[in-house]
Chain A
Amino acid sequence: MRVLLHQLRSEQLIFWRNRESAGFIFVFPLMLFLLLGAFYGDETTDEGYAGIEVLLAGMLGYGAANTGFAGMAITLVVRREYGILKRIRSTPLPASSYFAAALASTLFVFALQALVLLGLGRVLYDTALPERPLSLAFLVAFGAAAFAGMGIGTASLIRSAEGSSAVVNFILLPMAFLSGSFGGRDYPRVIEAIASVLPLKYFVDLLRGVYLEHERAWSNPGALAVVAAWGLGGALLGVRRFGWEPRER
């Protein structure tokens, strides 16, 4: 337990000290929200929702995927290729503590980001506060964990540190777009069909349900199951293929 807390503090120090991770993972989604928010203005969607609130729900989804999936995958690949994971492997820090701390750190960062998103929306665009804060808090934790699982799986498929950020965003950005993270989702059928297998679409559905329609998180068990399955699948792939040592040398 002491070691776990120590490692969590270390992860936080490393995260905030590194300009790339703090900027790309934490600040970038906030900037995107401000920027897109300025475009949406006070539009109302066909379903009668405030455009800016639809965007906020979507950005919470993007944030989860960006922090959990992209952050976890890039961090793991970079540490693996630089030999940091290998170095840690020879210390008494148990692998379980390493991953538990990485997950807790991801959760912490995303929870903070979600709070700032809600706060910015409230102050700048007059968005509503969530009527089901517990359900939303659950989704934040659930989403960060599930996307972190996918990140661990994806890290095991990426070979080089240089390419990791590109590969991850090549997956993340189209997925976020197709899933309605950046606002509306009125796409042609083909694209909708593609989107309907993506975990982020279901996660955004869950967020919209809780934030816009004031549902409980578990009122959409199908979507929860899809996201959880992707997360578990990713984590299992990661466990099977995970390597502590650099692949490229």
Chain B
Amino acid sequence: MAAISVRRLRKSYGPLEAVRGIDFEVAAGEVFGLLGPNGAGKTTTVEILEGYRSRDGGEVEVLGFDPGRGERGFKERIGVVLQSSELWASLTVREVHAIFAGYYKEPRDVEETIELVGLGQKRDARVKTLSGGQKRRLDLGVALVGDPELVFLDEPTTGFDPAARRNAWELVRSLRGLGKTVLLTTHYLDEAQQLADRVAVLVAGEIVKLGRPSELTAGAKAEIRYRRDGELVVLETEEPTRALHDLTAAALAEGRELEALEVRRATLEDVYLELVDEQPA
């Protein structure tokens, strides 16, 4: 059974249509990425699934529940990392974890959770003394301490330095190892590519592409570049083998050298930027 299923989901804020009828499913145990630029509707979508926001249309089922009803049984089984939130600054890491653990019927062990998110050295540190990245780990620890099946991560690595981002990735991978279902949002392609089993690219409230990271680039055009009399020539083609063959055959026949010849496969980044550019902002 799907952990999350979303059909024709719509949400408007006044005249602004933030989510325009999207469909997707997330299987149990899957890491699913919602990728998109600022204002695409990622947080809106995630917060509807978490039960914070109402929807204007469509159907949503999360772990068999309608999240909008805010049932306790539902809340026992989800963990939430919000895009931005703070916790009690003068408490310690351990105390904050213990407070949240007490809200659940069957929480994880507090010490073990603190180790899991890599705050073992900081368990007795006050929240206000933590760095930005460590605070994000705290958010994650608090989301995991209830031992949820499904974890929502809204931009878990925004504001991280590259090393901290790698660490966070390891963390998400360890969630997969624990058998959790994860829905994460991100602006970063490499992150989606590294972490997600499947990615939905969300632009202006619509899903413009959905699939495995490797599928997203399949069928994308390749670029052949070379210089002719000092001028850069760029050929875009869906059949790079044939195009290259024609090009080199012609050049050989004329006894010419193709200066600075280069063949580039589209990266996910190219695909993404193309998708984002096609849409009116």
A, B: real partners? yes
Q: How far is the CB of A246 from chain B (nearest CB, A)?
A: 9
Interface CB pairs A-B, < 8 A, 16: A6-B103, A7-B102, A10-B99, A10-B102, A17-B88, A18-B88, A18-B89, A84-B85, A84-B87, A87-B80, A87-B142, A90-B75, A91-B100, A91-B103, A92-B76, A94-B72
Q: Which residue of B lies closest to A89 (CB)?
A: B52
- Interfacial residues of chain B within 78-124, with CB under 8 A of chain A in the complex: 78, 80, 82, 84-91, 95, 99-100, 102-105
Inter-chain contacts of A245 with B (CB < 8 A): 52
Inter-chain contacts of A91 with B (CB < 8 A): 75, 100, 103-104, 146
Q: Which residue of B lies closest to A7 (CB)?
A: B102
Given A82-B87, A83-B86, 16 further pairs, Cβ under 8 A: A7-B103, A10-B102, A13-B99, A14-B90, A14-B91, A17-B91, A82-B86, A83-B82, A84-B86, A84-B87, A87-B87, A87-B142, A90-B80, A91-B146, A93-B103, A245-B52
Q: Is B51 an interface residue (CB 8 A)?
A: yes
Inter-chain contacts of B91 with A (CB < 8 A): 13-14, 17
Central interface residue in B50, B95, B99, B142, by most chain A CB within 10 Å:
B99
Q: Assess A92 versus B75: contact at CB under 8 Å? Given A10-B99, A14-B91.
A: yes
Query: 10 shortest A-B CB distances, which residue pairs?
Result: A83-B85, A6-B102, A91-B103, A90-B80, A82-B86, A93-B103, A92-B75, A10-B99, A17-B90, A92-B72
Decide: B103 and A86 in contact? CB cutoff 8 A.
Answer: no
A contact set with B: CB distance below 8 Å: 3, 6-7, 10, 13-14, 17-19, 82-84, 86-94, 245, 249
> Main SS of the interface on chain A?
helix
Q: Which residue of A lies closest to B100 (CB)?
A: A91
How far is B178's CA from A71's CA once the two chains are assembled, in angstroms?
A: 42
How far is B86's CA from A91's CA once the two chains are assembled, in angstroms?
A: 15
Q: Assess A87 versus B76: contact at CB under 8 Å? Given A14-B91, A19-B90, A92-B103.
A: no
Given A86, A92, A93, which contacts B82 in the complex, CB threshold below 8 Å? A86
Q: How far is the CB of B96 from chain A (nearest CB, A)?
A: 10
Given A6, A14, A90, which contacts B52 in the complex, CB threshold below 8 Å? A90
Inter-chain contacts of A89 with B (CB < 8 A): 52
Decide: B85 and A87 in contact? CB cutoff 8 A.
Answer: yes
Decide: A82 and B102 in contact? CB cutoff 8 A.
Answer: no
Inter-chain contacts of A87 with B (CB < 8 A): 80, 82, 85, 87, 142
Inter-chain contacts of B88 with A (CB < 8 A): 14, 17-18, 84
Inter-chain contacts of A86 with B (CB < 8 A): 52, 82, 85
How far is B91's CA from A10's CA once the two chains are assembled, in angstroms?
A: 10
Decide: B50 and A90 in contact? CB cutoff 8 A.
Answer: yes
How far is B100's CA from A6's CA once the two chains are assembled, in angstroms?
A: 10
Q: Which residue of A lies closest to B81 (CB)?
A: A87
Inter-chain contacts of B82 with A (CB < 8 A): 83, 86-87
How far is B82's CA from A249's CA once the two chains are assembled, in angstroms?
A: 14
Inter-chain contacts of B86 with A (CB < 8 A): 82-84
Decide: A82 and B85 in contact? CB cutoff 8 A.
Answer: yes
Q: Which residue of A lies closest to B75 (CB)?
A: A92
Q: Which residue of B lies closest to A249 (CB)?
A: B84
How far is B78's CA from A15's CA once the two chains are assembled, in angstroms?
A: 28
Inter-chain contacts of A10 with B (CB < 8 A): 99, 102
